[in-house]
Amino acid sequence: LELLDAESPTYALDVLSVIEAVLDYPRQVLAAQGSKAKGEAVAQMKAEGIEYDERMELLEDVTWPQPLAELLDGSFEVYRGGHPWVADEELSPKSIARDLSERAMTFVEYVGFYQLARSEGLVLRYLADAFKALRRTVPEALRTEEVQDLIAWLGELVRQVDSSLLEEWEALRHPGEVPLPAAQPVDETPPPVTANERAFRVLVRNAVFRRVELMALRRWIDLGELDPEFGQDAWETGVRAYFDEHDVLGTGADARGPALFRITAEPGRWVVRQTLDDPRGDHDWVLDAVVDLAASDGAGTAVLRVEHVGML
């Protein structure tokens, strides 16, 4: 972790990548990621007019995402040289929790995206392990606000899907403070998702940014399905109007940053504004939405209503 640049806009995600590199190898998930990556690569190569034989050759290098692989492998080789007892150990760089965060998806959306319905238990256990490892391994001195946000978001995501995966672990970490689930009648109802404000803010930010990513891809049909009340026609109008003004819509670390995202708390709701990251840096296009807190508690995730997409 000390090798990472704490000033980098991807620092929190890089911390997560270090942790993921030492977690167990979820073969089904990585195979699904590799298949998806190959499918996208083939579509891109066809669009570029690359011939079949060359496509097949290029596809041999396409696999699941492995962020920081070169840095981690190099550092581990140096470490292994001075610590022979880890000679048989291997790192496995991968991106599942990070991929989920970068795609700004819910757990259900992620499982559907990779067609992992038959392996969703494996996905959830992996995410729970990632959360536990973050909580247990990352020193307080290295936990920036963004790292703490990431830890809170990941824990709340797992808790809302199956709280039992974390309750017993918490009880074992704090014996006498948290009763083990088996010692009392089991209440399978997760806590209100809005109770953990830090985690809920991340859920809201991800829900909003998922729409920004779809805007960048000009996928107003998908946006209309996400927001039927706002409607596909309104989304198409907003997206077309933006791209009449600009060639691209930023979705990188700066676009996701706190400077372009604002929440105003009101009774029973949050009013949200995501400023779009246009290439000129004018920042005069926005996505406005309202988050229903009671509905979010009922759904176990952020429930929002888009109200406006356009210029200020």
The string of pLDDT tens digits covering residues 67-79 is 999 988 888 776 6
The average confidence (pLDDT) of the chain is 89
pLDDT tier at 190, thresholds 50, 70, 90: confident
Q: What pLDDT shows up at residue 174?
A: 56
Letter string b/e over residues 38-61, b meaning 16 or more CB atoms within 10 A of that residue's CB: eeebbeebeeeeeeeeeeeeeeee
Query: Any residues with CB less than 8 A from the CB of 230 and at least 6 apart, and which?
Result: 224, 305, 306, 307
Give the pairing of strands 285-292 and 304-311.
antiparallel
Q: What pLDDT shows up at residue 268?
A: 97
What are the residue boundaries of the structural domains of the chain, listed by start?
Answer: 11-136, 207-311
3-state secondary structure (DSSP) of residue 22: coil
Q: What pLDDT shows up at residue 184?
A: 46
Give CA torsion, residues 37, 18, 209, 127, to 10 deg. 80
pLDDT digits (tens, 9 = 90+) for 173-188: 555 555 545 444 445 5
State the average pLDDT over residues 150-166.
86
pLDDT tier at 197, thresholds 50, 70, 90: very high
Q: What pLDDT shows up at residue 180?
A: 46
The conformation of residue 21, written as its DSSP 8-state character, comes to T
List the single range of 29-33, 50-54, 98-102 with lowest mean pLDDT: 50-54
Q: What pLDDT shows up at residue 183?
A: 46
- Beta strands (DSSP E) in the chain are 261-266, 269-275, 285-292, 304-311
Q: Find the helix or strand (DSSP H, E) in which 128 lies.
A: helix 120-137
